[in-house]
Every structure is written in C-alpha cells, then in structure tokens.
Structure 1
Amino acid sequence: MTQVIDIVVDNPAVTDQLDSFIKSLDESDFLFDALSIRRAVQERGMFQLFDNVEALKLDIYPRELIAGELDRSCMVESLTEFNCRLCRVPMQQPRS
C-alpha cells in the first residue's frame, strides 16, 4: 500500500535552492521528473516524488494556499522515519 504525504513548501526558498534540491533527489531513491519540478515551482503548481523502496508518494505544493500558512507551520529538515534523503535547506524557527 502506498503512503501519501502532502507537503507545502516556501516557493522563494525552493526557487533559490532548486538546483541543489534536484541534485539531492538524483542521489535519492525518489522517482521524479526534473523538468516537471522546475515547471511546477515556476508556476506554483504541485509536483510529485515517489519512493519505490518505501512505497511513499510525496505531493509537494510550492505555494501557500492560505496567506501566512507557512508562518504557522513546523519546519522539518528531513524525513528520517522513511530513510528518505532530501536536500537540507536552512530552516527558520516557527514564530511564537
């Protein structure tokens, strides 16, 4: 059974580090299409990553659906529970 996780990410942060993000994906177990990721980030559309080893699908949304949404979010550096290697992006602490 495939597990599905929806993740909202900060578009400017992803845009600034897109090349390193895609390079990290190249070194991971994820299946992805780099052109689709670049297009989705540019258009603020959703893209998907699929990990064959863990039967895990990530739906990544590079935009806020609600203004200020990411200000209330918990920042996560990696998904260690699934042994997934994603790029490490400097994270801000959530505001109180």
Structure 2
Amino acid sequence: MQAKKTRHFSGGWRMRMALIQVLHMDPTILLFDGLTDHLDLEASDWLEETLMNPDCILVVVSHSPDFLNGVGGPDVIISIFLNSRKCRVWG
C-alpha cells in the first residue's frame, strides 16, 4: 500500500489522505461542504471520530444529520443540515 501511487486508490482513500494532509497543517478554521458525499460508511465513521474534538473552528455543511451529531464535540458553534430546501442549524 505504501508504494502505491495515489491515483490508484479509491476516491474514499484519496479523500482520507487529503483530509489528513489538511488536518496536519494545524488550521485555525476548517470549512467543509458535502464532506461525506464520496466516503463509504467506514470512512465516514473514521472522519466523525477524527473531527469529534477539533483543535480549530469547524464549520460543516452536510446532508447527513447523523454525521453532524457526531462531529465537533461540546464546543461546536454551527453545523448546517440541508434537506428538501430547508436549513436546520445545529449548535
């Protein structure tokens, strides 16, 4: 796996690698829109656990209320759930 070129990985694995790269940049704020759209269940669970206690401001727009319930920890300011042209705010 370590010798494999990234173009040979699935979209979900490429998304994971991109997210890991972004998280290691020690950002002040992260803005995600449709973050789980190209992830399978295992990758979504990994991401939810990874973003549970972020070290930065986290703004997430998602079509998945279950995912939003699991991210951000107790200090989440706002998460936005879009469904049927309605907007519901978590936080």
TM-score, normalised by the number of residues in structure 1: 0.25
- Normalized per residue, the structure richer in helix is 2
TM-score, normalised by the number of residues in structure 2: 0.26
- Normalized per residue, the structure richer in strand is 2
Q: Which entry has the higher C-alpha Rg, 1 or 2?
A: 2
